[in-house]
Amino acid sequence: MGRQPNLLAFPGVDALASTLRTYILHAQTAGLNRHEAFKVAVSGGSLPKTLAKALLAPAISDDDKIKFDKWEIFFADERAVPLDHEDSNFGLLKAELLDKIPAELGQPKVHPINTEFLNDVQELADQYEKLLIERFATRDSVRLPIFDLLLLGCGPDGHTCSLFPGHELLRETDSWVAPIEDSPKPPPKRITLTLPVVTHGVKIAFVATGGGKKDIMKQIFEGDGGLPCALVNEGGQERVTWFTDTPAVEGVSFPRRGNL
């Protein structure tokens, strides 16, 4: 039982966001102690809005400060579109969070995709992997980039990042970043961190809210171990924490619910 993911259920998004902030602060402290920076991978979808609620709340003490100037933000997945396109995960994070960070909190170093390569998703993925090699040391000296924290979403089909149920990318063991040209959710062309990179994060957090997620949550925790989110649970074990609201976990029986 000890090495299972944590499943936290909150009555509403305000309570969820407040605990998510505390969790992120712990991860930030650990990252700063480890390498004087906080290296985070962030998803798109519904996550950035909740993240903004968690991170933009005013600090109540010095210990509660988000040190954005120490943050390096990477994308857990990105769509092969210009950065100002409505489908861009960077664009979404920018609108929901980055543009709203008060100047006095400092600004994070953000690593969007290189849009010169939008027409060649393999190259787009290779370029993003190259960036990870630069930011996490060379590929020779490091087997995998170890993010201090990955902040992930969970689609209603159980996908996370751009890793979709039944897709061959779930078997990728070599690349750190992979292209996908047949995403079942539009847009079809994307890049994504691969499962080995996701599951090796120091901490891995999912945010899944709303009754629309309850069927897939039941499958992830009680049924289909092959779903991408379930594979992250299996690989990340106790390093995985789910931040959910009550509607999202209605009917899900799981042995370990509780607080941080």
Ligand X SMILES: O=C1O[C@H](COP(=O)(O)O)[C@@H](O)[C@H](O)[C@H]1O
- Residue 29: CB minimum distance to ligand X, A: 25
Q: Which amino acid is at 47?
A: L
Cα–Cα distance for residue pair 217/228, rounded to 1 Å: 12
- Residue 71: CB minimum distance to ligand X, A: 18
Total residue length of the chain: 260
Show contacts with ligand X in window 22-61 (CB under 6 A): 43-47
Show contacts with ligand X in window 145-204 (CB under 6 A): 153, 155, 160, 162, 185
DSSP 1-15: -TTSPEEEEESSHHH
Question: 210: phi > 0 → left, psi -120 to 50 → alpha, else beta; which?
Answer: left
Nearest position to ligand X, beta carbon = 45
- Residue 59: CB minimum distance to ligand X, A: 27
Show contacts with ligand X in window 63-82 (CB under 6 A): 76-77
Could you tell me the strand order of the sheet in which 190-193 lies? 77-79, 190-193, 177-180
- Residue 181: CB minimum distance to ligand X, A: 15
Instruction: Examine residue 228 and tell whether it contacts ligand X (CB under 6 A).
Output: no
- Tell me, rounded to whole angstroms, the distance of Cα 158 from its chain centroid: 14
- Residue 89: CB minimum distance to ligand X, A: 6
Judged by beta carbon, residue 30 or residue 95, the one nearer ligand X is 95
Judged by beta carbon, residue 44 or residue 165, the one nearer ligand X is 44
Report which of 228, 249, 230 is spatially closest to residue 5, judged by C-alpha positions.
230
Number of H helices and E strands in the chain, helices first, is 7, 10
* Interacting residues with ligand X (CB under 6 A): 43-47, 76-77, 89, 153, 155, 160, 162, 185
